[in-house]
Structure formats: structure tokens, C-alpha cells
Homo-oligomer: A and B are copies of this chain.
Amino acid sequence: MNSLTEENYLKALFNLAIENGEVSVNELSKHLQIKMPTVTSMMKKLAEKKLVSYESYKPLRLTEKGRREAALVIRKHRLTEMFLVEKMGFGWEQVHEIAEQIEHIHSPEFFEKMDELLGFPRFDPHGSPIPDKTGKMEWLHYSKLSDCKIGDTVRLAAVTHTSEDFLKFLNARELKLGLKIKIKTIESFDGSMLVSYGKHSSEHLSGLVCERLLVEKE
């Protein structure tokens, strides 16, 4: 059984490896805010447990076993976030920190029950897919809002950042998942947009915000 610490390393490796499957010690160190020598020694330990393939000076890579165990921690995290929002009445901006702790509870029954009570949801409150019990996760064909063109009408499908500040910012503008958004203008020099959605006929979104919103083109 993996410790809380090991689970956090696995999760970080999984999330950082989305693109090419490779992660550097440096990246991981920065992401976890843990110094490089500590990361190196944990990688040796996880390699010992066959969760990571590690060779000196080579990029890190989760093994199949490591990928599965990481996905199962992420499953617990996302089910928890969904439960907190759907069954306990928390806002989507409040749940990440709590889930960060509950994801380490060791009790298959507990998460099974959550899953069941939620009706086996496929996405968490921020639009991220929930891995299944075998650790498989379907990756979706979303685009960043910042990559869309003037005139496009898109549906807000997910957010890539889950900090309380950012989500409160979206709350204040009534930007929720599922909303239809129309792009009116794009400022090419800073990537900011003027968009309309719901009752909001003209909202200005900075380039940074547009980068963090994932949309589905209709």
C-alpha cells in the first residue's frame, strides 16, 4: 500500500505527464514544492516498487502499474469533489483542498458508495474526467477558448485551474460549465476577448482567463 506521500508523487507524475509521458525531476520538484534531492530519492523508492521507471539523468516515466495507481488516486480525488458539490452543497471553488486530503482515505467501500450515490458520474465539478475503477480515463477533445475564432459559438466544458481565487472570479461573472459562449471580438495583442453568454451580452475576458477555459466546439 502506498503512503500519502507516495500517492501525491504518483498523482503529480500523472498530471505532469499528460503530453508526452515524460517528466523531469526539476518539473516534479517545482510542482510539489519539494527540493530535487528529495524527489530523486523518492523516485528510487518508487522505482523499487515498480511504479516509476528511473535511470539517472533520464526523464521520469510512470510504469503501467504506476499509471494505474495514480489514476485511482485521481479517481478518489474527483469523486470526492463531485460528492462535495452534488451531495453536500459546497461550491466548486471550495472542494479542491478538502479532496486533496480525502483522496488519501483507504476504503474502497467509501468511494464505491460515493460513486453509487452520484450515479457513476464521468466528470468532476471542474469538467475533468473521472478515471474508472480499472484506472482508465477517457481524454476529451476540448479546445482552449483562447484558440477559438471570432464568431465561434462554444460550450464551456472544463477549467484547467481550480484555485479558489480563479473559480470565485468565474462565479462573480456567472460563468458555469455547460454555458454557451459566443466570441464577439478578440484583441490580438493580448489575447483578451469580448464574449456573450446567458444574460451577459458583453463580458471582457483576459488572455489568461481564456487560456484556462476549455470548450467544446458545436
Q: Which of A67-75, A100-108, A188-196 contacts B (4 or more CB under 8 A)?
A: A100-108
Interface stretch (choices A5-13, A15-23, A109-117, A200-208): A109-117
Chain B residues with CB under 8 Å of A110's CB are 84, 98
User: Chain A 94-136, CB within 8 Å of chain B: the 1/0 string?
Assistant: 1001100110011101100110010000000000000000000
How many residues of chain A are within 8 Å of chain B by beta carbon?
18
Chain B positions within 8 Å of A117 at CB level: 88-89
* Given A102-B102, A105-B98, CB of A87 within 8 Å of CB of B87: yes
Q: How far is the CB of A44 from chain B (nearest CB, A)?
A: 26
Tell me the complex Cα distance, A89–B87, Å. Answer: 13
Interface hits, A16-39 → B, CB 8 Å: none
The answer, yes or no, to whether A169 is at the interface (CB within 8 Å) is no
